[in-house]
Structure formats: structure tokens, C-alpha cells
A and B are shown apart, each in its own frame.
Chain A
Amino acid sequence: MTKEEFLKLDDAGKLSFLNSEAATKDFAQISAEIGMTKAELGKIGFYYVGNKFLLKPMKGYGTTERSGNEYKDRFK
């Protein structure tokens, strides 16, 4: 997959792609394949921990999505 194709995926798609690759390849191979460094992946929220990729669920103030735990969601 090219970097461009990878970036077009949504977060869930990106995560699932990275982890399907991680089943057989190491980080350096995957990084080379999509042409993105560890720092670049980190910037969009993906981290390689213990042989698999994880997504930081809350991107601090970089994101404007609902966190899902707003008052209204917690106390209906």
C-alpha cells in the first residue's frame, strides 16, 4: 500500500491494515512499505507497542470529535 492509499483509510481501516501487516512483518518493513516514519505515524495517533499497532483514542486538543464521554452520554 502506498502512503497516499494508507492515508485515505479511516482510523479503523488504518489500524486493521497495520495489524494485518504486523502479523508477518516487523516495524521497519511496514514503515518502509508505506513510507512513513515512527514519528509520522505517531502524529496521526498510531503507535507500535509489543509487536502490534495501537491507536491513541483521544488526540488531545488536536481533535474536535466527541470523546464519547460527555455528560449527556454518561447520564442519559
Chain B
Amino acid sequence: MSQYGLLIDYEYCTGCHSCEVSCKNEKKLGRGVYGIKLAEIGPFEITPGNWEWNYIPSPTKLCDLCADRIEKGEKPACVLHCLGLAMDYGPVEELAKKMAAKGKKMVMFVP
């Protein structure tokens, strides 16, 4: 059986926190405990007018890629709710192809 993962297109992660909160709802997690948590890098200016400012959600070991939801034919909670539609779930081989096809600002997690 294939290994599954989460693909994040951080060119379009807008930092909305929907992944964090929907994961907490799904997993019934208390305050300060996360199944996925948003990290912020930047903003800083590389050359005039050229900014780096990224949000990247990182799954923790509480993440089971929403096995229950997958079983019901649904998407993982974070993937469904992501406002930028910047998250994807699937077999790592497929996700790797998507990463390569886009060619920038992609990261894959296998929690």
C-alpha cells in the first residue's frame, strides 16, 4: 500500500488558520495542542520590492491524515477548509509529481 502525505503549496497559503482550527474541531484538541500548526516566515525584503513572506502549516504527530474522514470518502479537514485551496492529500508518488509540475514553493509532509 502506498504511503500517503499532505502537499502544501505555500505560494498560496494565505495564513488563514482554517487548517489549525478545523483540525482542532475534528480531533477535539484543547488549547495549545495542535494536529497542524501554522508557521510564519518573513516578511523580509530580499531586494527592493521583492518580498519573502510565507505561511507553512506543519502537521504534528497528532495528525493521522484524518483516517476516519478518508474512510467516509471525505477530504482531510485541513484540506477541505483551506481558503487558498493550497493543500492536497494523496499518495506521495502522485503528490511528488504535482510538486515537480509546479516547480516552486511546494512542500510535502508525511506526518
Do A and B touch each other in the complex, judged by CB within 8 A?
no
A positions within 8 Å CB-CB of B: none
B positions within 8 Å CB-CB of A: none
